[in-house]
A and B are shown apart, each in its own frame.
Chain A
């Protein structure tokens, strides 16, 4: 147990140490830019995973909250000046709380019944949010969009503050995920995902936990949206509320393995980096729409559980065979196919 704990602490330290060190290697701007977007998606996938992976409610509307965060930051700085350049980062927690509060009634309605209705409500919410952004002209300036004063950072290291804030948000999302897995919250969520009615009947706080998880998840997502708005310097309805954002984070989580700590991050790094490359090579966005859809379909068909859980199963199977061979001498020893062994394997702390 403590060995597993030490291992995961080591893994986390190595990963975030590497992330923290990367900018000091004098990477080119386009590389850092790519990393900034990858971190955004990693943080959002990790956040989505709380609802879509651990709780089993596949939200198709997270992009709505990304947009809420983006507009919240853009609107705030229509009326407040940016001096040091760090003000937008300071208000991020407020943005997160705001989005969480907006998410509360949404979840209360959408999560009353099972997952299919939830998906319907969340995807509709995304289009409604976009409609509102277009139509509430006096607030959002409609299709014209809003612009934010450019950040007064030195051009040579312009990306760094954004980069580090996003590393922080990723650490926050993964930290929350880790604590979830290790606490009774994660245990309860796993029971909700497996059989919600049964969970209700054994005293699991189903409704409250679903609401809490959703609000935390969309709160994190909106904070990423806020950073994005500031980084880009402008927000338009069609980019802030883009169904492709939703589909990307869902895809990344599925690719890496939903319901695992590292799966969404792995998925985000694989997909976002290759997508940025693809975008450079293919140029037109229609081609990468097709490529995206095809990749998604292939994953669903060939690797529906994602990379990490599949690897874990392979390892478990191999160990079990090894264990069975050993066990010939002492048949009473249970094969090491235990849930505890499963947690320790691979790096995908699974609930």
Chain B
């Protein structure tokens, strides 16, 4: 299994607190990898380090065979590494369709073309249809339900044909039907060749969907392996239940 994403000895300190502490882990190509761990174990900080929102104090991040440590979020996105946020960040004053179009990762020359061209409309239209958002394509994103916003954010980061998508708690705050929908979309896209790294608290979602599972505790991984082994691992139980 070749690694698409490789993190070596990453460390990030906030005012004396080691949020990520010498973490090394890798995400294999064509996997749906889960990243779990108790609250405050550094999952979100690690996400921010990987996606260029934060610079690691120490350590390296390699993506698709290249060292991308300290590269900014935009460049990483254009290289095929994209993410969603826990709180479903969409642009409320843009229409649903525009929320997709704006995520196209354009060159400077393309920026000076039509706001929404007919080819944009086609490209966005396919994703909107896939995510069942076509009927609301012309509404403002602020008029969507929370679950729909989560879907929209997910759909938008696919506009750049990414290799790796990081999902930050895709099921948080959405209803059970929407959780199933989310799972289906991840499976579909995985089948189409996208690798996923997912932070998630919903264990049944993780167990159904992800393999392998990485467990983070106090800023570094303490377990990496098959989902069936997670529940029996004493280190993991320790981290979750406290000793």
Interface residues of A (CB under 8 A from B): 181-188, 190-191, 194-195, 197-206, 208-209, 334, 337-340
Contact = CB atoms under 8 A, between A and B. Distances in A.
B104 interface: yes
16 contacts: A183-B114, A184-B101, A184-B115, A187-B94, A188-B102, A188-B111, A190-B91, A190-B102, A200-B72, A201-B77, A202-B77, A202-B159, A203-B106, A204-B103, A334-B139, A340-B95
B143 interface: yes
* Interface range for B: 35 or more
Contacts of A202: 77, 82, 102-103, 105, 156-157, 159-160
A204 B93 CA distance: 16
A175 B179 CA distance: 47
A330 B232 CA distance: 56
B83 interface: yes
B110 interface: yes
Contacts of B115: 181-184, 186-187
B140 interface: yes
Contacts of A337: 139-140, 143
A339 B112 contact: no
Task: From B89, B136, B140, B143, name the one whose CB has the most chain A CB atoms within 10 angstroms.
Answer: B89
A309 to B, nearest CB: 11
A198 B106 contact: no
Contact of B89 (A186, A195, A209, A338): A195
Given A183-B114, A202-B82, 5 more contacts: A185-B111, A205-B111, A334-B136, A338-B139, A339-B140
B143 A190 contact: no
Contacts of B112: 183-185
A194 B111 contact: no
Contacts of B78: 203
A153 B81 CA distance: 62
A340 B138 contact: yes
B113 interface: yes
Interface in B201-219: none
A194 B113 contact: no
B146 interface: no
B103 A195 contact: no
Contacts of A186: 115
Contacts of A201: 51-53, 73-74, 77, 82-83
Nearest to B159: A202
A346 to B, nearest CB: 16
B88 to A, nearest CB: 10
Contact of B92 (A194, A200, A334): A194
Interface in B85-138: 85, 89, 91-95, 98, 101-106, 108, 110-116, 135-136, 138
A339 B93 CA distance: 9
A204 B102 contact: yes
Interface string B24-39: 0000000000000000
B170 to A, nearest CB: 16
A202 B104 CA distance: 8
Contacts of A194: 91-94
Interface in B49-89: 51-53, 72-74, 77-78, 82-83, 85, 89
B186 to A, nearest CB: 19
A186 B83 CA distance: 23
B95 A338 contact: yes
Contacts of B160: 202-203
